Structure 1
Amino acid sequence: MGEQEDISLPKATVQKIISEVLESDLTFSKEAREIIIESGIEFIMILSSMASEMADKEAKKTIAPDHVIKALEELEYHEFIPYLEQILVEHKETQRIKERRDAKFKKSGLSEEELLRQQEELFRQSRNRFQQTSTTPGDGAEGAESLEAEADSSRSESVKAEEL
């Protein structure tokens, strides 16, 4: 490792992983945790270096997931590959969903300020309906369910507007 001594892994995260793997009646010393951290850093350095070489061979400036998978194969860590491929598929799906959601708001043609104004208006209307229903006898359960649905919809719109 030498010159790059400022590189580390989060100790709390490593400790959490160790605790999840170990049986509850076993303990793990700080020195052992430090060895795990150093080993993990070394593994990451070797893997990233090899993946970088793979990218260079293809005249690419960016390390792609395929380069990491090829590096794992070369290092004979075949058992990691199926899990990594599964995580990659899940990540790509999450990105597609996020891109579609972002595109929906961009296509709306509304500014963030306009979306926030509309959200506030929806909240105001919901509060007014709630106040009206709470004073009208007999509407209790139906009115509350309707207001809950409107509030959920408003919250959803709020989150989407904040993500812009």
Structure 2
Amino acid sequence: MSDREGHIGPGSSDDDLSLPKATVAKMINELLPSDVTCAKETRDLVIECCVEFIHLISSEANEICEQESKKTIAPEHIIGALKRLGFDSFTTEVEDVLKDHKQQQKDREKKADKIKDSGLTPEELQAKQEELFALSRAKFAQPQQQQQQLPQPQT
């Protein structure tokens, strides 16, 4: 059910929605030349615009989803929503990101299969993991021990 009056779902409103300010600030700073700064009010406006854009695309994707008698918004619905709303120029990049995401999922599954296919029992895997943790702790503790052994400056 699509609702463009600002109600996202039960118990939520647009006032509840935002994006992490630090993340948005970091993205903005990475995109701007080093000699240009962004005012706090500008960052807040960018966040509001992003939230509105997400709401617009989600609402349109929801309508497409309902027209197809589906209960789950799929990536294809988002791409369709972008096209319907005149954001055709975004679809190629969105499709590329989707392809990368699917590849990352496959890679994660291969890694899980590799563990499963290792021939080791869960107990052996646990022991190997504990061994790796112990090595990591030893490496981490080594610089701290060296610091403690250094002579302390006298006052």
Q: Same fold (TM over 0.5)?
A: yes
Question: Is there any run of 5+ residues in structure 1 with no aligned partner, and where?
Answer: 123-164
Relative to total residues, which structure has the larger helix share, 1 or 2?
1
Structure 1 residues 113, 75: CA separation in 2 closer, same or farther (over 3 Å shift)? same
Please give the alpha-carbon distance, in whole angstroms, between the structure 1 residues aligned to 2:131 and 2:94. Answer: 45
Q: Aligned residue pairs: how many?
A: 123
CA positional deviation for 1:109: 6.1
Match of 2:84 among 71, 74, 98: 74
Structure 1 residues 10, 120: CA separation in 2 closer, same or farther (over 3 Å shift)? closer
Q: Does 1:50 align with 2:63?
A: no
Please give the alpha-carbon distance, in whole angstroms, between the structure 2 residues aligned to 1:117 and 1:24. Answer: 48
Identity value in percent: 48
Q: List aligned pairs for 1:11-160, cutoff 5 A.
A: 11-108=21-118, 110-117=120-127
User: In the alignment, residue 5 of structure 1 is paired with which amino acid?
Assistant: D
TM-score by length of 1: 0.66
TM-score by length of 2: 0.69
User: In the alignment, residue 37 of structure 2 is paired with which amino acid?
Assistant: T
Question: Is there any run of 5+ residues in structure 2 with no aligned partner, and where?
Answer: 1-5, 8-12, 133-155
For the pair shown, the structure with the greater C-alpha radius of gyration is 1
The residue aligned with 2:138 is none
CA positional deviation for 1:54: 1.1
CA positional deviation for 1:111: 4.0
User: In the alignment, residue 115 of structure 1 is paired with which amino acid?
Assistant: L
Please give the alpha-carbon distance, in whole angstroms, between the structure 1 residues aligned to 2:44 and 2:129. Answer: 50
